[in-house]
Structures are given as C-alpha cells and as structure tokens.
Amino acid sequence: MSHLPYLAAGWIVIAGLYGVVTSRDLIHAVVCLSVTQSGTYVLLLAIGYRYGATAPVFSDRPPHGRPVTDPVVQAMTLTDIVVGATVTALLLALAVQVAKRRGTIDPDELRSLES
C-alpha cells in the first residue's frame, strides 16, 4: 500500500481547515468543515484497503475466494457520514438564522460576543 492515500487524506483535512480560517461566508465555512471531514473518510477507507481484494460481501462469496477489504472501517465511514450529515444540517440551519437576524453571513462583519 503506498503512502499516497494518507497524504491525500491529510491534504484534504488541511485544505478544509484553510477554508474555515479564511472564510468570508458562513455557508462556505460549514461546507469547508464537511471537506475536513471528507479527509477522515479517505483516511478510514485507505486503512482498510488491500490490493487485489474484493468488497466485503459474504453472501455469494466462494469459501476460498479472493481476500476482502476490511468491513469495519467501511462501517465506521458510514457512521461518520451520518454524523456529518447531522452536523452539517444543524450548522446550515444556524447559518440561515444568522443571516436572518444579523443580515450578513460574513464573519468579518459579525460583532464580537465579548462585551
């Protein structure tokens, strides 16, 4: 297994973080957060991958067939996607509320909460 998938996962996480840091738009920031999370999908799948292996579906698999990729990380990725969907939906709803109440979704124009 080459290092490339791990580098790609790290790159995606860092790209997402960079997006959040420089964001001028809260919707953009929330989407960048999803990008960060996508890095963890890639990382998980890369960990379970094996060259020459097939999908971990056991119902029609002959007893001594090809090896399968690790199903545990795939289950984790699915759970991760569900968690991510929840978080993104809630944060987008909050961003909509910010737009309604403050009239802007530019973080630079939101006043500090520190009184």
Partner 1 sequence: MILQLTVAVPVLVAALLATAGRWLPRLAVDVAAVLAVAAVAALAALTLTRAPHHAQVSWLGGWGPATDVGIPLVADPFAAGLALITALLTLAALLFSWRFFTEIQAIFHTLMLLFLAAMVAYVYTGDLFDAFVFFELMSVVAFALTGYRSEEPSTVHGALNFGIIQSIGAYLTLAGIALVYARTGQLGLATAGRALAGTGGGHGDALVTAAFVLICTGYLVKASAVPFHFWLADAHAVAPTPVCVLFSGIMVPLGVYGIARTYWATFAGLVPLRAIAVLGAAAALLGAVMCVLQHHIKRLLAYSTISHVGLLLVGVAAHGPGALAGTAYYLAGHAGVKGALFLAAGALLNRHETVDEHELRGRGRGMPVTGATFLLGALGLAGLPPSGLFAGHAVTEHAAEELGWWWFTPLAVVASALTAGAVLRVWLGVFRGTPAEEDPARDGRDHGGQDHREGGHEDPETRPTLRTLPWTMVTPGLALLIAALLAGLIPGGPVGAAAAMFTDRDGYAGLVLDGRVPHPHSTPADPWTASGVAGFLVTVLLAALIAVYAVRRRASERTGGEGVLARAAAAAAGRLHALHSGHIGDYAAWLTAGVAVLALLTARF
Residue ranges in contact with partner 1 by CB under 8 A: 9, 13, 17, 20-23, 26, 29-30, 33, 36-37, 39-40, 43-44, 47, 72-73, 76, 79-80, 83, 86-87, 90-91, 94-95, 97-98, 101-102, 107-108, 110-115
**Nearer CB in complex with partner 1: 57/62:** 57
Question: How many angstroms separate the CA atoms of 22 and 28, rounded?
Answer: 10
Q: Is 103 left (phi over 0), alpha (psi -120 to 50) or beta?
A: left
Give the residues across from 54 on adjacent strands.
68
**Nearer CB in complex with partner 1: 1/62:** 1
**Nearer CB in complex with partner 1: 30/69:** 30
Cα 27 to its chain centre, rounded Å, is 16
